Chains A and B, each alone.
Chain A
Amino acid sequence: DTAVSQTPKYLVTQMGNDKSIKCEQNLGHDTMYWYKQDSKKFLKIMFSYNNKELIINETVPNRFSPKSPDKAHLNLHINSLELGDSAVYFCASSPAGQGAGYTFGSGTRLTVV
């Protein structure tokens, strides 16, 4: 069983469209995240949810809206897609505890044309 699964793996869409990326973790972790990896591979946090509550919302355009229906799921909805949104989006989760590392999903490569 995949620990953190994201769908879809690839997403090609036109500018102006609205799209969603889904994430599910079966690890029982209480915190989930969305990270964006740009073309230079830099990883930047977008959102952090702890037990369905938004903890971090970095300087992300409000076209991006995360939704956490339960602590095992964190979805990302993007409105009015722009060329600059093209990137790989990673979902991750972590358990409670000071020494706890993240488990990442395999990523969603979003291409806006």
Chain B
Amino acid sequence: QQQVKQSPQSLIVQKGGISIINCAYENTAFDYFPWYQQFPGKGPALLIAIRPDVSEKKEGRFTISFNKSAKQFSLHIMDSQPGDSATYFCAARVYGPARQLTFGSGTQLTVLP
């Protein structure tokens, strides 16, 4: 059972373009929605995160848009650069002692020079 559905599986964008990755969830008990960036041979690294009481959060070129009623959230990468080429994971967490993150299936982003 995949609780967080992510799309697309892969994305190719020209340098300077906008990259958009979407995620949808079912569990309304999720209270924290981070995005992680993973480069080959490395562990995932926290990129940006949002709580469901906020509809948008921006950090530099990265923006999360959150639609609580639709149970969807998305990552927008503005002015995409070749160095942004990586795998991106959305995730969601139910708060509790475990603070367990459930991850989406990942999006392989390639930014062409």
Q: Point out residues on A near B: beta carbons under 8 Å.
A: 4, 31, 33, 40-45, 48, 50, 55-56, 90, 92, 94, 98-107
A87 nearest CB across to chain B (Å): 14
Q: Give the bracket for the number of chain B residues in contact with chain A.
A: 20 to 34
The 3 closest A-B pairs by CB, nearest first: A104-B43, A101-B46, A55-B98
CB distance from A100 to the nearest CB of B (A): 7
Can you list 9 A-B pairs, Cβ within 8 angstroms, ordered by A? Answer: A41-B87, A41-B105, A41-B106, A43-B103, A56-B100, A99-B49, A99-B51, A102-B34, A102-B46
| B-chain residues with CB within 8 Å of residue A107 when the two chains form the complex | 41-43
Which residue on B lies nearest to A95, using beta carbons? B99
A101 near B49 with CB under 8 A, answer: yes
Shortest distance between the CB of B56 and any CB in chain A (Å): 16
The residues in B between 42 and 81 inclusive whose CB is less than 8 angstroms from any CB of A are 42-46, 49, 51
Chain A residue nearest in CB terms to B95:
A98
Please determine whether B41 and A106 come into contact, CB atoms closer than 8 angstroms.
Answer: yes
Q: Which residue of A lies closest to B34 (CB)?
A: A101
Over the window 87-113 of chain B, the binary record of Cβ atoms lying under 8 Å from chain A Cβ atoms (1 yes, 0 no) is: 101000001011111110110100000
In the complex, the chain A residue whose C-beta lies closest to that of B108 is A41
Closest to A104 in B: B43
Complex Cα–Cα for A31 and B95 (A): 13
Cβ-defined contact, A105 with B43, below 8 A: yes
User: Which residues of the partner chain B approach A104 to less than 8 Å between Cβ atoms?
Assistant: 36, 43-45
Contact mask for chain B residues 7-51; partner A; CB cutoff 8 A; 1 contact, 0 none = 000000000000000000000000110101010011111100101
